[in-house]
Structure 1
Amino acid sequence: MNDTAERLRNLWNELLDHPAGAEDLDFFSLGGQSLIATRLIGRITEELGVQLRLRDVFDHPTLASLGVLVDAARERTRETGARAADDAPADGPVRLAHPPLRPYGAPLAPLQERFWKVERVLPQAAFFNQVMRVDLTGDLDRRLLMSALRGTVRRHDVLRATLEEGPDGPRQTVRPDFTVPVRQREYGDLDEAAREEVIRRAAKAESRLPFDLVREIPLRLRVLRFTATRSAVLVVTHHIAFDGWSRGQLVADVAAHYRARVEGTAAPEPLAYTYTDFAAWQAGHRAAGGMDASRAYWLDRLAPPYPDLRLPGALDDEDEYRSATQPVAVPAAALASVARLARRENTTDFTVLLAVFLLAVASRCGAPETMAAIQVANRRWPGTQKLVGLFSNTLVLRAPIDPAAPFEAYLRTVRAALLEAFDHQDVPLEEVVDALRERDGIDLADLLQVGFALQDPWVPETPVPGGLLRQASGLAVGDDQELDPTTFGLTMELRADGPALCGYVTYKADRYPPDVIKALVATFDGILRTVTEEPCTAVGPLVAEQAAL
């Protein structure tokens, strides 16, 4: 086994459940998904000094075949004199020198700029509030836990930054003398139902309380204490400084700082660079034309006309941005069938489920083309995977329907569209929309008719000295619970629930009656059952059959 193979195997074992001696088992059969592939690519860049694309992992899914590809890439690196692994970060973000005791400034990252523009227009809307619930159990030292949080916020400078408009555009200023706002209240030893209701109401209130980003840092806490050994902490953040990936990183870093304080050990190693360092690099990268190719790709790919994905039975009422939900589930047996089909096609469960959802929407509305928006982590640069900050982006996928083609061919079309989109994920969708609006007169709503998400399983609990930090899977809502406003016509969001999946279709309540969404979920279930049993089923008859139900 050569050096590349040994180091790659170590990374493989770190990120996947890889039995010893099973080098020929493929990435997908070991539970590999897009986010794990993103982590693997980042670690390969850090350890071996080569930059891979997501399609490289998908097309070389075994350890042996991926090793051959990485070896060839390393050889090309040596032949062309490109940077080795040790100095590769010079081609990307690098750590800048900052005064430890004085405020320092940085430009906003391109994605942050888009959020800031909306925030300035609708400062009281609280569109971008995010509420993460962390349950604390055990004999935890509250003082040391708050100290650990402060250490984490000091580590991730974007969490202690305020924003302002400057003569050259918006800027963020990192504050050394920050305060994390904390509201605390004792509730006593409530039963589970009463406790969950208290948490739900508090979370709903926090989700509607806007941040003043000019005067406040984009983070606050609400602590609900029930007993000496049980509390719930609502971590409220503004999306301009925080995304879905950041949730797990924040909890992990707080846990690491807490262990260090309790055990008297060293704090976590310094980051390679901070989020504001990344923002400064990315702003310069864009100004130098580094995003031009991806921007051109999206201007071509998202040129109108677009399919009309409004479902039959839609209402003409004025859109007041009210939303509602309809539960959806994928049982364990169905998910196992999805996994088998995904492995056979060298793709992920996400791709199969997305393809089924797209066809379900098409069968209800009769569209000849499918289109949906998805969220991506967008953390391809080495070092970004350890940061708290805003990296996630929205990509819009388009896939035509060939009625004569079997589902497995349509699935390959969706797979190809996904991999192409991942190759061009850096440009904020809103920036592309601005250009399309000026050129073609389109609106963002034209592209956000439908959305789909398969969330990573939540880390159930993080052990710390004396207890546990448990990142809850979400806040309980009833089937008819009105959620925060949505800009999508409808979205389906699924999450792992043991060996099955559960989730919701969230939809605009002013546009769709509940029965319309229930029919969509039934169509999704029917198509999923059919294509996992018979992947060669022709798409045209399949769509027509479901539309007739």
Structure 2
Amino acid sequence: MGENSVEARLLSRMRQRAEAARIVRGDREAGPLPLSFAQHRLWFLDRLTPDSPEYLVPTALRVRGALDVTALGTALSGLVARHEVLRTSFPADDSGTPRQVITAPWQVEVTVHDLRAEADAETRAGEVLRAEATRPFDLDAGRLLRADVVRLADDDHFLLLTVHHIVSDGWSSGIMARELRELYAAAVAGREASLPELPIQYADFAVWQREQLTGPETERHLAYWRERLARVTPLELPTDHQRPARPSGGGDVVTFSVPQEVAEALRSTASGQGASLFMALLSLFQVVLARYCRQDDIAVGTPIAGRNRAETEDLIGFFVNTLVLRTDLSGDPTFTELLARVKDTALGAYDHQDLPFERLVEELAPDRDLSRHPLFQTMFVLQAPGSAEGRAWELEGTRTEPVEIERGVAKFDLTLTAVESADGLRAVLEYRTDLFERATIERMAGHFATLAASVASAPRARLSELNMLTEGERREILVDWNGVTGPYPDAATIHRLIEDRVASDPDAVAVAYGDQEWTYADINARANRLAHHLRGSGITADTLVAVCLDRSPDLIATLLGILKAGAAFVPLDPDYPADRITYMVEDASAALVITSTDLAHRLPGTIDRLLVDTQWPTGPETDPEPLASADDLAYV
């Protein structure tokens, strides 16, 4: 998130308040050094899923020119000597509690992969970079920085620096780039590096953070977040695959863009509301999520630097905090009205950002579910030009350019990252491959870009009036799918059409559910047994039969059986409160409720019921004589 006029003023006030609580250098011999809250969570995740590449932070550069590998090793060793966190290990004591152990400075050995003699050096280089960017670290052993150089020619190299997130973050990458530039130049020239002394080290911040999270100020933050996130519900995105009990961590990315004129229109709209581009893009993302999920309560995570104290600004370390931005999209507001809601949410969150996300999770204690990230499942990030994350990496006497590495990992269900550029916005959607196919995310990227253009042209339109469909999708729905050239049998009923399909193709698959497949003959025979039973029980034309079932093949067979009997069905959502279900059954004067054993307790005890899992009829499987026509009642 780049600092703009709104956020900058707020963060400035926070820095002024922080002057009264400065962090000081502590005594390294005073006792075991604790981990910060953020570090402790990553340490726990590392124990939960050892060797996962999710929390590695690789930086790859193409370096053209005379790269001095010896000077590079000297410069990196200087970086390790300067920042204690880069020479820290994280073993657990006898009670299982992790601690920081700071070691003496160590010499960084740069691993050189010489590919000058290989014909397919570029391809092989990519393989080496991907392998090294995903090779795990041992947190107990420390040395959580490594360097690899892939040599393509005497004046052409790839440089890969990999650190573990437990000792670094996006802001730290900017510090590393700046200091490595000076340390490398000094090593090449044979002089001392000119870098200012650091007032504190990361361990001092961790100790200070633990001490600060007591008293009325912490309680003020907790009270805000308790109220703000009360009864927050998971985001139920429609996925291509069933959610696994434990994600593999596998991921992929889809890249797309938002044109400059659209980005500027969004910025102008935000500015007119006293908001920022970050808030406008977050609003857009939440609208897309709301439409996909059909939910009005949308919680999205966003990282924030967590460095609102001057003494932390030049430190390498894991300071970044995560804020949960929860927005109510109900009532079909205009986009500008939604933007006002998002602005209030964001500014409130910034004002209470000092509470670590890990401490918040501990306090709220949401239901533990290893398949989901706690409190939110999607992340939004805006990187502004000139931010610490975007500072250029430069090495004396060379030309460097960043290189993307496809690591194939994803931390969240979805992460939208937008980067400001002279051409507009470059956006990346990172997604879990456990959940989504690439085509689904490409479609979502198109929806976001289309919605952005729609908002840019009509920011005061209501959310329901904003277009999200791409031109191709609109043509498909409005033209292609409506190109009917033959007559439809208006007098036919759905169950008679099913019977016709059974006669022509009985073995075709009609219903697929999990690993089950029912043919048209299977489902028709099962429905026929139910229809004969209902007629024998006195069910006649236009009789109402209530249905309280979860989605399954039995639900399809039940609905067809009721229609074949000549009756009509009353659908009851099993998730409704029991009182609501009772009212609907009684108000409809239903003659019978068809349900299952696990749902029967939600029904009034006086109503007749048939349990599909234990009482399905065993009568005739022939098609009953039709009682209902196309003009008769089908459902209520």
| TM band (smaller chain) | 0.7 to 0.9
Counterpart code for 2:78: G
Superposition map of 1:129-208 within 5 A: 129-166=56-93, 169-188=97-116, 197-208=123-134
Conserved in 2, the CA contact under 8 Å of 1:361 and 1:520? no
* Residue pair 1:309, 1:361 contacting (<8 A) in 2 also: no
State yes or no: 1:244 paired with 2:170.
yes
How far apart, CA to CA, are the structure 1 residues paired with 2:62 and 2:279?
32
Q: Does 1:516 align with 2:440?
A: yes
User: How many Å apart are 1:196 and its aligned residue?
Assistant: 5.1
Q: Cα 1:178–1:538, aligned 2, differ >3 Å: closer, same or farther?
A: same
Structure 1: gaps (5+ residues): 1-31, 43-50, 55-72, 78-87
Which of 52, 59, 70 is the matching residue for 2:13?
52
User: 1:223-238, aligned counterparts within 5 Å?
Assistant: 223-238=149-164
Supply the distance in 2 between the matched residues of 1:399 and 1:148 (Cα, whole angstroms): 46
What is the CA–CA distance in structure 2 between the aligned matches of 1:275 and 1:36, rounded to whole Å? 29
Is the counterpart of residue 92 in structure 1 residue 19 in structure 2? no
SS at structure 2 position matched to 1:524: helix
Higher percent of residues as helix: 1
For the Cα contact (< 8 Å) 2:324–2:375, is it kept in 1?
yes
CA distance in 1, matches of 2:6, 2:339: 19
The superposition leaves residues 264-299 of structure 1 with CA deviations (integer Å, 9 ceiling, x where unpaired) of 365201012111121121122225665333233222
- Structure 2 residue 227 is the aligned partner of structure 1 residue 293: no
* Aligned partner letter, 1:531: V
The structure-2 alpha-carbon separation of the partners of 1:289 and 1:204, relative to structure 1 and needing over 3 Å to count, comes to: farther
> Deviations 1:491-527 (Å, cap 9, x if unpaired)?
2122245423223222222323334323322221221
Which residue of structure 1 aligns with residue 266 of structure 2?
Answer: 338
Q: 1:38 to 1:305 in 2, by over 3 A?
A: closer
Runs of 4+ in 1 over 6 A off after TM superposition: 35-42, 440-443, 543-549
CA spacing shift, 1:177–1:445, aligned 2, 3 Å? closer
Q: Secondary structure of the residue that 2:25 maps to in structure 1?
A: coil
1:350 aligns with 2:274: no
Structure 2 equivalent of residue 221 of structure 1: 147
Map of 1:428 onto structure 2: 356
Tell me the amino acid that sits aligned with residue 511 of structure 1: L
Instruction: Classify the secondary structure of the residue corresponding to 2:255.
Output: strand
d(CA) in 2 for partners of 1:541, 1:335: 20
Query: 1:416: how far off?
Result: 1.5
Matches within 5 A, 1:272-291: 272-287=199-214, 291=218
Match of residue 390 from structure 1: 318
- Aligned pair count reads 465
One-letter amino acid of the structure 1 residue matched with residue 44 of structure 2 = K
CA contact (8 A) 1:224 1:233 kept: yes
Aligned-partner residue type, residue 277 of structure 1: D
Amino acid aligned to 2:398: G
Are the equivalent residues in 2 in contact too, given 1:307–1:368 (CA < 8 A)?
A: no
Say yes or no: does 1:118 pair with 2:48: no
Cα deviation, residue 388, structure 1: 0.6
Q: Is the 8 A contact 1:375 1:392 kept in 2?
A: yes
**Whole-angstrom distance in 2 between the partners of 1:533 and 1:190:** 54
Aligned twin of 2:138: 212
Conserved 8 A contact 1:239-1:390:
yes
Pairing 1:501–2:425 present: yes
> In the aligned structure 2, how far is the partner of 1:296 from the partner of 1:181?
49
Give the alignment partner of residue 305 of structure 2, picking from 367, 372, 377.
Answer: 377
The whole-number CA distance in structure 2 between the counterparts of 1:460 and 1:283 is 31
Give the CA deviation at 1:252.
0.5
Q: Does 1:328 align with 2:252?
A: no
Per-residue CA shift, 1:65-123, capped at 9, x if unaligned? Answer: xxxxxxxx8xxx9xxxxxxxxxx867221123569xxx996321111111112222332
What is aligned with 1:310? 237
Deviations 1:126-163 (A, max 9, x none): 33112111333333433223212111111111001111
3-state secondary structure, aligned to 1:504: strand
Contact 2:77 2:106 survives alignment (8 Å): no
Determine the C-alpha separation between the residues in 1 that align with 2:420 and 2:182: 26
1:198-257 CA distance string (max 9 Å, x none): 443223212332111111321111111222222221111111101111111101111122
CA distance in 1, matches of 2:107, 2:333: 59
- 1:33·1:349 contact (CA, 8 Å) conserved in 2? no
1:403 and 1:235 mapped to 2: Cα distance?
Answer: 49
- Of all paired residues, the percent bearing the same amino acid is 26
Q: Is the 8 A contact 1:490 1:505 kept in 2?
A: yes
Separation of aligned partners in 1, 2:118 and 2:14: 50
- 2:345 paired residue number: 417
1:459 Cα offset (Å): 4.2
The structure-2 alpha-carbon separation of the partners of 1:199 and 1:417, relative to structure 1 and needing over 3 Å to count, comes to farther
Contact 1:34-1:348 within 8 A present in 2 as well: no
Shift of 1:441: 6.5
In 2, are the aligned partners of 1:461 and 1:468 still within 8 Å (CA)? no
Bigger-Rg structure (1/2): 2
Following superposition, the deviation at residue 333 of structure 1 comes to 2.4
Name the SS of the counterpart of 2:90 in structure 1: strand
1:42-87 CA deviation, whole Å, 9 max, x = no partner? 8xxxxxxxx6149xxxxxxxxxxxxxxxxxx8xxx9xxxxxxxxxx
Q: CA separation of 1:89/1:154 partners in 2, compared to 1, >3 Å: closer, same or farther?
A: farther
Q: Is the 8 A contact 2:74 2:107 kept in 1?
A: no
Tell me if the contact between 1:403 and 1:538 (Cα under 8 Å) persists in the aligned partners. no
Alpha-carbon contact 1:307-1:369 (below 8 Å) kept: no
| Corresponding position of 2:466 | 542
Counterpart residue type for residue 445 of structure 1:
H
Give the 3-state SS of the residue equivalent to 1:386 in structure 2.
coil
Whether 1:525 and 2:426 are equivalent positions in the alignment is no
Other structure's SS at 1:148 match: helix
Q: 1:264 aligns with which of 161, 186, 191?
A: 191
CA distance in 2, matches of 1:545, 1:462: 40
Q: 1:305 to 1:152 in 2, by over 3 A?
A: closer
Q: Retained in 1: the 8 A contact 2:174–2:391?
A: no
